[in-house]
Amino acid sequence: MIKQPRWVNWILKDSRKIPTNPTTGTYASSTNPTTWSDHQTAKQHGNKLGYMVGAGIGCIDLDHCLHDGQLTEGASIIVSQYQGNYIEISPSGDGLHIWGTAPEQAGFRRTWQGQSVEFYSRARYITITGRTWQKGQLLPL
Protein backbone atom coordinates (compact mmCIF):
# COMPACT_ATOMS: atom_id res chain seq x y z
CA MET A 1 0.00 0.00 0.00
CA ILE A 2 2.78 2.42 0.88
CA LYS A 3 4.18 2.21 -2.65
CA GLN A 4 0.88 3.11 -4.33
CA PRO A 5 0.05 6.83 -4.79
CA ARG A 6 -3.43 6.49 -3.26
CA TRP A 7 -2.88 8.46 -0.05
CA VAL A 8 -4.81 11.43 1.32
CA ASN A 9 -5.14 13.31 4.57
CA TRP A 10 -8.46 14.02 6.27
CA ILE A 11 -10.15 16.61 8.43
CA LEU A 12 -13.07 16.28 10.80
CA LYS A 13 -16.02 18.43 9.72
CA ASP A 14 -19.51 18.12 11.20
CA SER A 15 -18.60 14.70 12.66
CA ARG A 16 -17.51 13.44 9.22
CA LYS A 17 -14.01 12.55 8.12
CA ILE A 18 -13.43 14.46 4.87
CA PRO A 19 -10.49 13.41 2.65
CA THR A 20 -8.11 16.18 1.63
CA ASN A 21 -5.42 16.46 -1.01
CA PRO A 22 -2.05 16.35 0.80
CA THR A 23 -0.48 18.74 -1.69
CA THR A 24 -3.15 21.44 -1.87
CA GLY A 25 -5.21 20.94 1.29
CA THR A 26 -8.41 21.03 -0.79
CA TYR A 27 -10.94 18.23 -0.77
CA ALA A 28 -9.83 14.96 -2.34
CA SER A 29 -12.08 12.88 -4.56
CA SER A 30 -12.30 9.10 -4.36
CA THR A 31 -12.60 8.99 -8.15
CA ASN A 32 -9.93 11.55 -9.11
CA PRO A 33 -6.36 10.27 -8.67
CA THR A 34 -4.93 13.77 -9.24
CA THR A 35 -6.22 14.63 -5.74
CA TRP A 36 -4.21 11.83 -4.09
CA SER A 37 -0.50 11.55 -3.38
CA ASP A 38 2.25 9.22 -2.36
CA HIS A 39 2.57 8.04 1.24
CA GLN A 40 5.54 10.25 2.10
CA THR A 41 3.81 13.44 0.95
CA ALA A 42 0.63 12.60 2.86
CA LYS A 43 2.60 11.79 5.99
CA GLN A 44 4.53 15.08 5.77
CA HIS A 45 1.26 17.02 5.65
CA GLY A 46 -0.37 15.53 8.72
CA ASN A 47 -0.88 12.50 10.89
CA LYS A 48 -4.48 11.99 9.77
CA LEU A 49 -3.92 9.63 6.86
CA GLY A 50 -6.37 7.93 4.54
CA TYR A 51 -6.11 5.47 1.68
CA MET A 52 -8.19 5.37 -1.49
CA VAL A 53 -9.10 1.70 -1.93
CA GLY A 54 -8.85 0.13 -5.35
CA ALA A 55 -6.09 -1.29 -7.56
CA GLY A 56 -6.53 -4.61 -5.78
CA ILE A 57 -6.75 -3.28 -2.21
CA GLY A 58 -9.96 -3.36 -0.17
CA CYS A 59 -11.14 -2.94 3.39
CA ILE A 60 -13.81 -4.30 5.71
CA ASP A 61 -14.99 -1.62 8.15
CA LEU A 62 -16.51 -2.78 11.43
CA ASP A 63 -18.09 0.10 13.35
CA HIS A 64 -18.67 0.10 17.12
CA CYS A 65 -17.32 -3.42 17.54
CA LEU A 66 -14.96 -2.82 20.48
CA HIS A 67 -16.33 -2.35 23.98
CA ASP A 68 -13.74 -2.01 26.74
CA GLY A 69 -11.22 -3.60 24.38
CA GLN A 70 -13.41 -6.64 23.72
CA LEU A 71 -14.96 -7.56 20.38
CA THR A 72 -18.70 -7.85 19.98
CA GLU A 73 -19.91 -11.35 19.20
CA GLY A 74 -20.52 -10.57 15.51
CA ALA A 75 -17.15 -8.86 15.12
CA SER A 76 -15.39 -11.76 16.80
CA ILE A 77 -16.82 -14.16 14.21
CA ILE A 78 -15.84 -11.87 11.33
CA VAL A 79 -12.31 -11.22 12.63
CA SER A 80 -11.75 -14.96 13.11
CA GLN A 81 -12.16 -15.38 9.34
CA TYR A 82 -9.21 -13.02 8.70
CA GLN A 83 -6.56 -14.33 11.08
CA GLY A 84 -3.67 -13.51 8.73
CA ASN A 85 -4.86 -10.06 7.63
CA TYR A 86 -3.61 -6.74 8.92
CA ILE A 87 -6.30 -5.18 11.15
CA GLU A 88 -6.15 -1.78 12.77
CA ILE A 89 -8.27 0.22 15.18
CA SER A 90 -10.29 3.05 13.61
CA PRO A 91 -9.89 6.71 14.69
CA SER A 92 -12.91 6.44 17.03
CA GLY A 93 -11.17 3.70 18.99
CA ASP A 94 -14.23 1.44 18.88
CA GLY A 95 -14.06 0.15 15.30
CA LEU A 96 -11.76 -2.01 13.20
CA HIS A 97 -10.49 -1.90 9.62
CA ILE A 98 -9.58 -5.27 8.10
CA TRP A 99 -7.23 -4.68 5.15
CA GLY A 100 -6.62 -7.05 2.28
CA THR A 101 -6.73 -7.74 -1.41
CA ALA A 102 -9.96 -7.62 -3.36
CA PRO A 103 -11.09 -7.05 -6.94
CA GLU A 104 -12.73 -3.70 -7.56
CA GLN A 105 -16.46 -4.07 -7.05
CA ALA A 106 -19.45 -2.26 -5.60
CA GLY A 107 -19.23 -1.72 -1.88
CA PHE A 108 -21.91 -2.59 0.64
CA ARG A 109 -23.16 -1.75 4.09
CA ARG A 110 -25.22 -4.19 6.13
CA THR A 111 -25.78 -5.57 9.57
CA TRP A 112 -24.75 -9.16 10.26
CA GLN A 113 -25.14 -10.87 13.65
CA GLY A 114 -25.90 -7.44 15.10
CA GLN A 115 -22.65 -6.02 13.71
CA SER A 116 -22.45 -3.11 11.26
CA VAL A 117 -20.24 -4.27 8.35
CA GLU A 118 -19.05 -2.23 5.38
CA PHE A 119 -16.86 -3.43 2.54
CA TYR A 120 -15.15 -1.24 -0.06
CA SER A 121 -12.67 -1.95 -2.84
CA ARG A 122 -13.15 1.05 -5.15
CA ALA A 123 -14.15 4.71 -5.14
CA ARG A 124 -13.88 5.09 -1.37
CA TYR A 125 -11.30 6.12 1.16
CA ILE A 126 -10.62 4.58 4.54
CA THR A 127 -8.78 6.26 7.39
CA ILE A 128 -5.42 4.87 8.46
CA THR A 129 -4.39 5.08 12.11
CA GLY A 130 -1.43 2.74 12.43
CA ARG A 131 -2.98 1.47 15.68
CA THR A 132 -2.54 -2.25 15.07
CA TRP A 133 -5.19 -4.65 16.39
CA GLN A 134 -3.70 -7.64 14.60
CA LYS A 135 -0.41 -7.88 12.78
CA GLY A 136 -0.76 -9.43 9.37
CA GLN A 137 -0.58 -9.08 5.62
CA LEU A 138 -2.77 -8.02 2.76
CA LEU A 139 -4.52 -11.34 2.19
CA PRO A 140 -7.75 -11.90 0.24
CA LEU A 141 -10.91 -10.45 1.76
Catalytic, out of 39, 45, 61, 88: 61
The Cβ of residue 100 has, within 10 Å, a number of other Cβ atoms equal to: 21
Q: Is 88 a catalytic residue?
A: no
* CA atoms of 57 and 47, how far apart (whole Å): 21
**HEC secondary structure over the chain:** CCCCCCEEEEEEECCEEEEECCCCCCECCCCCHHHCECHHHHHHCCCCEEEEEECCEEEEEECCCEECCEECHHHHHHHHCCCCECEEECCCCCCEEEEEECCCCCCEEEEECCEEEEEECCCEEEEECCCEEECCECEEC
Active site residue 67: no
Per the residue annotation, which of 63, 67, 73, 88 is the catalytic one?
A: 63
Q: Which of 39, 45, 88, 97 is catalytic?
A: 97
Cite the active site residues: 61, 63, 97, 118
